[in-house]
Amino acid sequence: MNDAIRITRAATRKPKPKDSELGFGTVFADHMFLADFQEEKGWYDPRIEPYGPLTLDPATAVLHYAQAVFEGLKAFRGVDGRVRLFRPHKHIERLNTSAKRMRIPPLDPDLALRSLVELVGLERDWVPSSVGTSLYIRPTIVATEPFLGVRPAKSYLYFVILSPVGAYYPEGMNPVKILVMEKYVRAVEGGVGAAKTGGNYAASLLPAEEAHAAGFTQVLYLDGVHRKYVEEVGTMNIMLRLGDEVVTPPLTGTILPGVTRDSVLALLREWGFAVSERPISMDEVIDAARNETLREVWGTGTAAVISPVGELAYRNQRMVINDGRIGELTQRLYESIVDIQYGRVRDTRGWTLEV
């Protein structure tokens, strides 16, 4: 579809929060992008409109059976004042992979890219400039057909909203405490664990609440079959530095194929680290903690960026990592990713797209 994007400008502009007051996902830019899908027409009527509520029939399919997918990516204001999207093509590819699993019609990648570039271009004043802040972009597709039967909907809405954000975790770059979860699981092979779909996040709320009540910031899920192998945190992928090796769970359909995960693995390989995408059992982690070869643990995610893990609690054991301090490789990865995102170094990998 090569339709022109229709633009209706907001009559008034909202005040922008100060960079120092930014949390995560509470304030939204003045405009949003929308496009509709109908079986007979495909995707049509791409448009930018003032940000505002959607009107949905109570029978709308997404409200009942959660046929929906989303993405999360960021635009950064560089030290040179330029605005860059980080890995937009990779996010669009994942949006369409998620859509396929949820039986949602894919977006034309060109339309998806145009939606991001045009919307962020129009709202560039909403991209904050302090390090640690960015404009979070939330592309979403929902089934809009009012119909209660369980089958794929015949109509969909694609929308993109923008939110200026600071750090995702209140701890910022300080190490987080994570509870290794045995009671609940996140996904099984053949399920929807690799799709970025709302239900995965709804299912994480109760385990997260129980972990918070016990004093932990996040939950580390184990595999759904043996409850033995490390999977992911739900808001980020997990990586461990065991001796001289960096290990992370493989993409077998149960974890989200993180874009930051992919970027970090590429950097580590370029730097000559031994990197393995392989199953990691909790027994191995416990042994490594005992032998003092569990050197660093960190999470990777678009919202979380690189998040150091200071403690893992499993059954009745508490494994303090690197004395609860940020590890040297964790810090190097954080700085390298952020340097690319804020244009402090030249992007030699084609990861950023200037808007």
Tokens of 39: 């079986």
CA-to-CA distance for 175 and 326, rounded, in angstroms? Answer: 6
Give yes or no for residue 303 binding ligand COI (CB under 6 A): yes
- Give the containing element (helix H, strand E) for 308: strand 305-314
# of chain residues touching ligand COI (CB under 6 A): 5
Residue closer to ligand COI, measured from CB, 247 or 303: 303
Whether the CB-CB separation of 238 and 219 falls below 8 Å is answered with no
- Measured in residues, the chain has a length of 355
Compare residues 72 and 164 and give the one whose CB is closer to ligand COI: 72
Name the one range near ligand COI by CB under 6 A: 27-35, 95-103, 278-286, 299-307. 299-307
302 counts as binding ligand COI under rule CB under 6 A: yes
Query: In angstroms, what is the minimal distance from the CB of 161 to ligand COI?
Result: 13
Residue among 301, 310, 327, 343 that touches ligand COI (CB under 6 A): 301
Please, which residue, 112 or 303, has the CB nearer to ligand COI? 303
When asked if residue 299 is in the footprint of ligand COI (CB under 6 A), the reply is no
Which listed range, 4-12, 93-101, 218-226, 296-304, lies at the site for ligand COI (CB under 6 A)? Answer: 296-304
Contacts of 32 (CB under 8 A, 6+ apart): 48, 49, 50, 51, 52, 119, 159, 160, 161, 162
Task: State the DSSP code for 278.
Answer: -
Query: What residue type is 305 in one-letter code?
Result: V
- The torsion region of residue 335 among left (phi > 0), alpha (psi -120 to 50) and beta comes to alpha
Nearer to ligand COI, 195 or 242 (CB): 195
* Closest CB 45 distance from ligand COI, rounded Å: 27
Per CB under 6 A, the segment of 126-134, 145-153, 300-308, 347-355 that binds ligand COI is 300-308
Residue 314 bridge partners (DSSP): 317
* C-alpha distances out from residue 132 to 8, 19, 68, 98, 122, Å: 31, 9, 29, 28, 22
Binding region for ligand COI (CB under 6 A) out of 187-195, 269-277, 301-309, 327-335: 301-309
- Min CB(302)–ligand COI separation in Å: 4
- Torsional sign, CA 136, 137, 143, 145: positive
Q: Which of 134, 235, 248, 330 binds ligand COI (CB under 6 A)?
A: 235
For ligand COI, give the closer residue by CB, 46 or 301.
Answer: 301
Q: Which positions touch ligand COI (CB under 6 A)?
A: 72, 235, 301-303
